[in-house]
Every structure is written in structure tokens, then in C-alpha cells.
Amino acid sequence: KAGVTQTPRYLIKTRGQQVTLSCSPISGHRSVSWYQQTPGQGLQFLFEYFSETQRNKGNFPGRFSGRQFSNSRSEMNVSTLELGDSALYLCASSRRTADTQYFGPGTRLTVL
Amino acid sequence: AQSVAQPEDQVNVAEGNPLTVKCTYSVSGNPYLFWYVQYPNRGLQFLLKYITGDNLVKGSYGFEAEFNKSQTSFHLKKPSALVSDSALYFCAVRDDGGATNKLIFGTGTLLAVQP
């Protein structure tokens, strides 16, 4: 069974731009969560989606948004990029809420 | 609020020796605890979890973890370390006692296994 896939794997943007990251969960998994990983703040929860509904949201500004489609694929969007948004963005999927989460390889975003 | 702490930034061990990576937790209610490993430029790989039941949890790649309620600890262990075990290890707790997928991670422990 294929794992969680994330595209693109690497991305370079400039301040003020916006970016969209994509995540395809493991087949049969309906829950998708997003995390941001930085050297300074570590791993921080962004959002959680299940059946196209946002179930939970972390403590991030409104520039960070996400959505989930009917096929469980998910996207997250960051508008008006700041230098501090440079991070590894990880997507995780599980069959349902409260199941074990399996992570994708991440998207490395660099903001210049 | 739920939290986990990993008191060691780095653990060094010789190949073939047993290894322990420490984690302590603070939760209200039942703990749902996890260990993940991250290799360079990779995502997180699931190793094992404790939900309920036996205090000794066996996981992937020969790893196991011991849940200790009185000491609020969930230490990761392996009887014989391999050089290929060198990686960044994260302990995590599920927030809200299991009603959500939100994981709260520790700061990570870098395991270095010397040949």
C-alpha cells in the first residue's frame, strides 16, 4: 500500500507570496493532519481534517488555511509568506480520528 | 494541558549496547503515547504506541517502550543498538485524551550510535 505522498517536496518562495501544499493520504484513510517543523519551535500542529471538515486547528495566524476534498486529499495554503514560515511541513493520515497517524516525507518550504 | 518532555537532546551509545531514550509525560486523563523516528530529510516514521494494556509495548525495528504510570514515563528502549538506528526520536502524546488526532511532540532526542 502506498504511503502518504506530499507535493512538492521542495519549494522556494519570496516574502509576500502565497503557497499551496498538497497531501494525498494512504488509501482508505479519511483523516488528515498537518504539522509544521522548525528548528526553533519543533513540531507544531496546524490543522486536522476528517470527511472534508476541519476538526481542530492549532495556534497559527489566519494566513494558514487548509481544506480537504471528497477523496480525502488535502491542501494547505499560506498567504503573505514571511521569513519565519520557512519550515518542513508534514502531513499525516489515519483511518479515522484517534487512530495511529502515518506521516508523509514533508514539503520543505524556504521563504527568501 | 497535555505535554511530553524529552530531557536529553542527544544520546550516544556504542553499537551492540542497549539504548534508552527518555520521555516523561503530563496528561489529564488516560495517556495516549507514541514514539516516532525521523531520518535526515525524511518524514516521521511510527515506531510504537501505548493506549492501554501491557506496560511493555513492542514496536517496529526491535524497539520497545516501557510505560510507567507512577513515574509518568514512557522510555524507548532497544536491547542492541545498530548504527542505522542513528536518527532523531520524538515522543508524542495525543491531545484531549484521544478525541482528536492532534499530537503534542517533545523536542526530540538525537540518537548517535557509534560503530
Subunit contact B94:A106, Cβ cutoff 8 A: no
Q: A33 at the B interface (CB within 8 A)? A: yes
Distance CA B84, CA A86 (A): 29
* Mean pLDDT, rounded, for B14-34: 94
Helix (H, G, I), strand (E, B) or coil at A70: coil
Q: Is the pLDDT of residue B98 over 70?
A: no
Looking at beta carbons, which residues of chain B come within 8 Å of A55? 100-101
Q: Which of A50-64, B41-55, B86-100 has the lowest mean pLDDT?
A: B86-100
Beta strands in chain B (DSSP E): 3-5, 10-14, 19-21, 24-26, 33-38, 44-50, 56-58, 64-68, 73-78, 87-94, 103-105, 109-114
B35: confidence class by pLDDT, cuts 50, 70, 90: very high
Interface of B with A (CB under 8 A): 32, 34, 36, 41-46, 49, 90, 92, 94-95, 98-108
Nearest chain A CA: its distance from B101 CA (Å):
5
Strand partners, A94: A31
pLDDT level of residue B100 (50, 70, 90 thresholds): confident
Low-confidence ranges of chain A (pLDDT < 50): none
Nearest Cα of chain B lies from the Cα of A100 at a distance, in angstroms, of: 8
Mean pLDDT within B41-68: 93
**Taking 80 as the threshold, does the pLDDT of residue B96 lie above it?**
no
Instruction: Please tell me the predicted confidence (pLDDT) of residue B42.
Output: 83
pLDDT higher than threshold 70 for residue B97 = no
Q: What is the mean pLDDT of residues B66-84?
A: 96
Q: What is the pLDDT of residue A14?
A: 98
pLDDT-based confidence at B92, cuts 50/70/90? very high
Inspect the interface and report whether the beta carbons of A105 and B107 lie closer than 8 Å.
no
Q: Which of B3, B32, B36, B102 to mutate to test the interface with A (most CBs of A within 10 A)?
A: B102
Residue A42: list chain B partners with CB under 8 A. Answer: 105-108
The whole-angstrom distance between A16's CA and the closest CA on chain B is 26
Average confidence score pLDDT of chain B: 93
Query: In angstroms, how far apart are the furthest CA atoms of chain B?
Result: 43
